[in-house]
Chains A and B, each alone.
Chain A
Amino acid sequence: MTSAINRRQFLQLAGLGGVGVVFASALPGVVHAAGQDDFYFVQLSDTHWGFEGPPNPDAKGTLRKAVASVNALGEQPDFIVFTGDLTHTTDDPVERRRRMAEFKDIVGGLRVKNVRFMPGEHDASLDAGKAFREFFGATNYTFDHKGVHFIALDNVSDPRALIGDEQLAWLAADLRQQRADAPIVVLTHRPLFDLAPQWDWATRDGAKAVELLMPFRNVTVFYGHIHQEHHHMTGHIAHHAAKGLMFPLPAPGSQPNRAPLPWDPAQPYKGLGFRSVDAELKEAAYKITEYPVVKA
């Protein structure tokens, strides 16, 4: 209880101090009744380590700044998740591994050591996840934390954006072990629904995963890929896309192509950031807070 209040006090102070913390995504119906099982985690996504280009003149510094900002949180999260595209793609397997090693070294500076990694298509689609597994382990897995069942789904190791029948069977078997009212969080890279198929913002067999999840009353999906905050419901299942940490992308379908938004020298790091997710289990709800890369 006390620690939860301290954390919120920190956020309020940070907001007043001009850090730019925006409580933009708090889910409706959340009641602040911090209990002993409440916790929060941080989601970072789409760091694209190795990218170089005008969309981010500080390509080599942004990730380090984000790590510093996470480390500066007054109360540290229980754990941290990276939802894919840790590195920017390269055809060279040696370079791919070099980027993964550098990424791992930088995020090794996080104060929180309980860190979960997921691949994006830039990490895993050209070698079916081989290099990713060498550095970060399995591409799909589950874990439980304070009563919440987390499922990391891999929809990128197959370059066709397929989860695949084998993994879907694995998901179905895992879900058979869960109660219908179990709090379940799915972590993945691509949207599991057809957000913008014209931009390849979809998972070809994502509907099969959603169908498997549908009987469960408390399911929330956190994903990346689209480099911007986005919220969508498929039935009672909420899907929350995170900002990226290299360059923002335009709103789905807002222009003919999905080119990165230009860097704004007047507002560096605009559109980039990470989020915290407060799990308040008495309401089986998740309060999301978005953060900029650096203080304004």
Chain B
Amino acid sequence: MKLDKKLLRIAAGAATLALASLAGYVAAQPAQPKEKVIRIDAKRFDYTPGELTLKKGEAVILELTSRDVLMGFNLPDFNLRADMVPDKVTRVRFVPDKTGSFTFLCDVFCGSKHEEMNGRLTVIE
């Protein structure tokens, strides 16, 4: 009987410890892993940054905005595009699903060097 009580206390203690650990884990870890946020600014006629390196399969949030006129962010190889609007941030979730080097470009005509306004995305393993 004494043994039973002792076992019970140990079990209860272990359960308390386990709950405390779980609570600590929940407090430290959000429900989903935090995704990397990458801000891309456009102004006539370039992007900042103009080169990105991402990991295949790793989700990122692109925050897109323009510092002057309406621009576009077009990544044709991933069928991803969005307007880049002055004074407004457009958030786009992006998970690269293939490796390589890819062009992104402005697809909203913005002036004399519009044709030269592009950047490069490199996706690595």
Contacts and interface: CB of A to CB of B under 8 A. Distances in A.
A89 B111 contact: yes
Given A257-B116, A257-B118, A161 B109 contact: yes
Interface string A213-257: 000000000000000000000000000000000000000000011
Nearest to A159: B109
Nearest to B110: A159
B64 interface: no
Given A126-B111, A256-B103, A160 B72 contact: yes
A154 interface: no
Max count, chain B CB within 10 A of own CB: residue among A89, A159, A199, A257: A159
Nearest to B70: A159
Interface residues of A, number: 20
Interface residues of B, number: 19
A90 B108 CA distance: 16
A258 B105 CA distance: 12
Contacts, number: 45
Given A197-B74, A257-B118, A90 B109 contact: no
Nearest to B72: A160
Interface of A: 88-91, 121, 125-126, 156, 159-161, 197-200, 204, 256-259
A197 B74 CA distance: 9
A200 B115 contact: yes
A88 B107 CA distance: 18
A91 B112 contact: yes
B57 interface: no
A160 B74 CA distance: 11
Contacts of A125: 109
Among B77, B103, B115, the most chain A Cβ lie within 10 Å of the Cβ of B115
A86 B114 CA distance: 17
Contacts of A197: 74, 76, 107
Nearest to A122: B109
